[in-house]
Amino acid sequence: MTTAVSVLRAKVPNPFDRLRQRVGAGRERRAGGGRGRAAGVPPLSPRLQFVRAVLVSLLAFSGAFLLHAVFVSGLQQSAAQEQLYDELREQLAAGTAPIGPTDSTGEEIAIGTPVAYLEIPKIGVEHVVVEGTTSGAMLDGPGHRRDTPLPGQIGTSVILGRRGLYGAPFDGLRELQVGDLITVTTGQGRFEYRVTGLRLDGAPLPPPAAAGEGRLLLMTASGNRFLPDGLLRVDATLDGTAVGGPARLISTTALPDRERAMGTDSSTLWALVLWLQAVVLVSVGFVWAWYRWGRPQAWLVFVPPLCFVALGAAGEAVRLLPNLM
């Protein structure tokens, strides 16, 4: 009888033995260091952890750059246009809108100040034009080149606009035809222009403007919107009489390269460097947390700040792109 019972006990497994084995295995894994890492697996070397952090940084920055270029930039430009429109409308109502390179107090107006409201009915353009044509200024909308008169004044006023990023306000310029209407409102009134032609690089120049005539030149990139191969110019002539205006404070020869067509702005390169450093630091923390805490904890703690700093870096990187993209 005793022998039979002993045989039965040997054949039937004790459930508490399995529980003890699982608890012991968990203790061994924790003793080995790192949740979710199997026992006996060696930890990553500092060099491999750094390489993984760099790869995470590159992935985060690339994704944030594409997201910013395709989606966020348009929202940012739309919000900026609403603020600029309210500011310009108040100035027009109060009679304090700029009519030259200086404001009503005689101070030089800052780059990014709203100076005109541009309307092109055929392609649905309704945008506030800011002073200056740096890449940073044109994040908010089309820019007026500072070495030319304002629209409506005697001479040729030049306005630059983006074709691919930040709302792409001038993407439809290629659809304009001779005779199409362009309207510009400034502190001196409302002015109507008629398109006289479109030009690509190498095309003949239009005849010189007559004395006292007002002209408008719109410029944007040609070719692929994200891989431009030249410039598209739209010439227009003012219907009616041009008005006079204050002399410009900067000449064409003195205009900085960053304000010319396809110019880039590196004045805030230091900010991009700081943002990229933040991306790398957060990526290092993400890799460390992934290995030490586990996947869910790492995603919960580090992904939100990683997205934030990556988008900040992408926003600064866009300033290095040509001002007409």
**Structural domain includes residue 248:** yes
Q: Give the whole-angstrom CA distance, residue 52 versus residue 35.
A: 18
**Structural domain includes residue 94:** yes
Mean local confidence (pLDDT), 32-46? 51
Q: Give the whole-angstrom CA distance, residue 161 versus residue 153.
A: 20
Domain that residue 157 falls in = 81-258
The answer to whether residue 12 scores a pLDDT higher than 70 is no
pLDDT in tens, 45-89: 666 766 777 787 788 878 887 887 888 888 999 999 999 999 999
**Structural domain includes residue 212:** yes
Please count the structural domains in the chain: 1
**Structural domain includes residue 202:** yes
pLDDT in tens, 159-186: 999 999 999 999 999 999 999 999 999 9
The answer to whether residue 245 scores a pLDDT higher than 70 is yes
The answer to whether residue 314 scores a pLDDT higher than 60 is yes
CATH of the domain at 219: 2.40.260.10
- Residue 85: the pLDDT is 96
186 forms beta bridges with: 189
**Structural domain includes residue 263:** no
Q: At 2, list the tokens.
A: 């005793």
Sequence-ordered strand ranges (E) for 66-124: 114-120
Q: Give the whole-angstrom CA distance, residue 82 versus residue 78.
A: 6
Instruction: Please give the DSSP secondary-structure letter assigned to residue 132.
Output: -
